Structure formats: C-alpha cells, structure tokens
Amino acid sequence: MLVNQSQLNIVRAGSYITYSSLKEIGNRILESFPGIIIRYDLIHEDMPFVDSIDALLLTMILDEGIGGHTLGITDANLKTRDSDEFYNSIFGGKNPKNDVAVVSTRKLGPETIDSREEYDLFISRTSKVSVHEVGHNLGLTDHASYKMAADGSLCPMSRGEINRFGFKGYVTAIIDGRGFDFCDECTDFLSRVYDASDALH
C-alpha cells in the first residue's frame, strides 16, 4: 500500500501533451478517487525523443528521478517483453515494485486533433486509462469480466481481452465503455483500505 497516496505526481514524460490537458486528466483522477487522492502536481521529465520505450524501464526512470505516487504520461509506444504481439505493446502499466504507473497516448486518439470533439475523445480515453493505472497503484486489480458501475458504464478496472478486439476495437469496446465511477467491489476495497467511505459513497 502507498505510504502517501493522497499526493499524485503526474509526469509528462517527453510527451507533446499540453499542461492544460494534463490538468483536465488530473482533475478527472481527483473526481474518481475523492477523499483518497487530494492533490496532484504536474511535472515535466525531459527525455530524448523515442518512438517506443520499455514500460518497466520508464517506471524505474520515473521512480528514481521523481519517486512517490507517480503517473507518467508519454506519447511513446510502451513495450513489454511478452512474445505475443497483442501484449508486447500496451496502453498502460504499473510497476509492482514501486508506486509508479505509466500511460501511453500513442493509440488513444486520432493522429491529428482538428476538432473539439476529437480533443474531448482523446482526453476522455487518456483519463480512463490513467484512472485504471492509478487504481493499480492503489491496490485495485483488473476485472477480466465486464463489471458495471452504478451509472451503467464499465468499471474503470474492467480489462477484458485485448486480442479479442485488436487495438482499435479494444479502444472502442473497452476503454470508451469505461466510466469514471467504480463498481461496488472496487468502491468497497477503496473505502476499507483508505477509510474513504463517506467520500466514495
């Protein structure tokens, strides 16, 4: 469990994403974890331009350079060492040995954002993957099934099977289907572990 979960560092890891966009994402994270995450700081981490980076390596870089409860957001492709092509490139990941999670925006939006609608969709998707990964930092686990929250959307921790849809299909079927409110199981866990029952219910 995190020593200080109430403070979240949101790190722009060499990404082009703007600070105003990071603020929108940060505010949605606060709304999803009321009474648990109280504030966030925005930090820029200079990194050489890379098309892809090992996800575990990036979490280690951010842990060493920044530390604490951290979410890194990058436009680089996050790679793993999985031999299955469906699983060696990921939307986000969490290092179980520290309190750092990372998210890639690479496959979450159009190549160019030319309208408010496209921008809103990009922010929504990045926020949903971010909430999922921060949930892992706080001890939540994936739902292999499609658990629903009270508002009828998928719980942010719903994962499903990526190779059933392919990357584009997964984004529209799973990530777009997620909301920002957790299912009863996740809410009960967060309430019990972080003593936030009044804020979450």
Residue 2 lies in a domain: no
Q: What is the CATH number of the domain that holds 192?
A: 3.40.390.10
Residue 155 lies in a domain: yes
CA atoms within 13 A of residue 181's CA, in its CB half-sphere: 11
Would you give per-residue pLDDT tens digits along the chain (201 residues)? 566 889 999 999 987 789 999 999 999 999 999 999 999 999 998 877 778 889 999 999 999 999 999 999 999 999 887 655 545 778 999 999 999 999 999 888 777 788 999 999 999 999 999 999 999 999 999 998 788 999 999 999 998 776 666 777 788 889 999 999 999 999 999 999 998 765 565
Domain count, the chain: 1
Residue 1 lies in a domain: no
Residue 173 lies in a domain: yes
pTM: 0.92
Strand partners, 90: 78
**Domain residue limits at 67:** 7-200
Any residues with CB less than 8 A from the CB of 70 and at least 6 apart, and which?
8, 9, 10, 11, 62, 63, 99, 100, 101
